[in-house]
Structure 1
């Protein structure tokens, strides 16, 4: 099976070489690597084109500033059966694709795979695994997504055919990963790998309150739409809304 790795980038010339290297170092090499550059004005293009690897497909366009639209552009350009998301500042374990391919092969019912992560500032000093569990699982996980026990990190791998029922990322959201995961989980079991296969970079600058507000607003809209379509109960909607409201207040006034 062929993977289509999709990376969205903007002015990450100082970091993206490490990300690309972690992709091309994969033990499984049947993949294309699609990089969508959202109008960078630094040396990102130069860095990408320094890699002499025909699997890398670089597309630069005018600034959109919408991750959902950019991700959809990448998906539409893809030719692989499996879509893998990789942020332009994160790093992969060298056997990530190989291990995930084994998961898909062992059970045809698996459509979506996520896994554990480790944060880092210095890549030589990884933090402890984010999720505490040491057990893989394959189960109905909608309630876990609703209550933030499974988070929409940009690390997932899913079958492209899943989009026939789930559809693309919702372009009404700046970052539609939460909405996409909720829609996937409302109709599919999720496979979780307890091993850390992505290392996510922590940036010194804090995420702005505006970004947090966008995230919470998207969550409300997404779960409300699921409730209207009877994918979740209104009790689940209100329960999730209360939890995220408390978290929003805590973050906003901290």
Structure 2
């Protein structure tokens, strides 16, 4: 059984979904330790996702929170990580998440965001992160104060206590 369940939500946006999915699938954490579920309101890519071992959930909700609630019933992991369809993860993200959640009392984890611009080479950016290029990191990371779905992980049992509120999250 996977330790982490990744929920990717996509509402009417198809153009970046496969890149987001690939960033979730190309993690340094062994593939049997996490699963990927995509909640979307279109059927495009269903066969591709199935062949990649990704679960798909049709969800035509107007709120992202309701899409997440629909996907939760398909999750098996103890920890839920979110990824927006237009975001990417660094390859070691889930390995770091697993390490953090070894602390039994931890219920919620989030990290900083790195904004990148159209046309930038993602592999070069990831390389600078791997090298711990402090100047690059200082100049490019967005403060932890803004939070988006893709920087958030939470224990499933904690999340399940908030289902009614979660359904309302836009």
Q: TM (normalized to structure 1)?
A: 0.53
1:1-254 superposed matches below 5 A? 2-28=3-29, 29=31, 30-38=33-41, 40=42, 45-51=43-49, 52-54=51-53, 56-61=54-59, 63-105=60-102, 107-122=103-118, 123-124=120-121, 128-131=140-143, 150-154=145-149, 155-163=151-159, 166-168=161-163, 170=165, 173-175=168-170
> Once the two structures are superposed, what CA deviation does each residue of 1:163-186 show, in whole Å capped at 9, x if it has no partner?
35x4226256342xxxxxxxxxxx
Q: Which has the higher contact order (CA 8 A, sep 6+)?
A: 2
Runs of 4+ more than 6 Å apart: none
C-alpha distance in 1 between matches for 2:93 and 2:163: 24
Partner of residue 132, structure 2: none
Displacement of 1:104 after TM fit?
A: 1.2
C-alpha distance in 2 between matches for 1:173 and 1:160: 18
> CA contact under 8 A between 1:27 and 1:98: conserved in structure 2?
yes
C-alpha distance in 1 between matches for 2:166 and 2:152: 19
C-alpha distance in 2 between matches for 1:103 and 1:171: 24
- RMSD over aligned CA atoms reads 2.2
C-alpha distance in 1 between matches for 2:164 and 2:62: 15
Gaps of 5+ in 2: 126-138
> CA contact under 8 A between 1:72 and 1:169: conserved in structure 2?
no
The number of residues matched between the two structures is: 149
Gaps of 5+ in 1: 132-148, 176-254
SS at match of 2:72: helix
The structure that has the greater radius of gyration is 1
C-alpha distance in 1 between matches for 2:11 and 2:156: 25
> Once the two structures are superposed, what CA deviation does each residue of 1:21-72 show, in whole Å capped at 9, x if it has no partner?
101101112211111112x3xxxx3335224222x001224x3211111111
Are residues 58 and 110 of structure 1, via their aligned partners in 2, closer, same or farther at CA, if it must alter by over 3 Å?
Answer: same
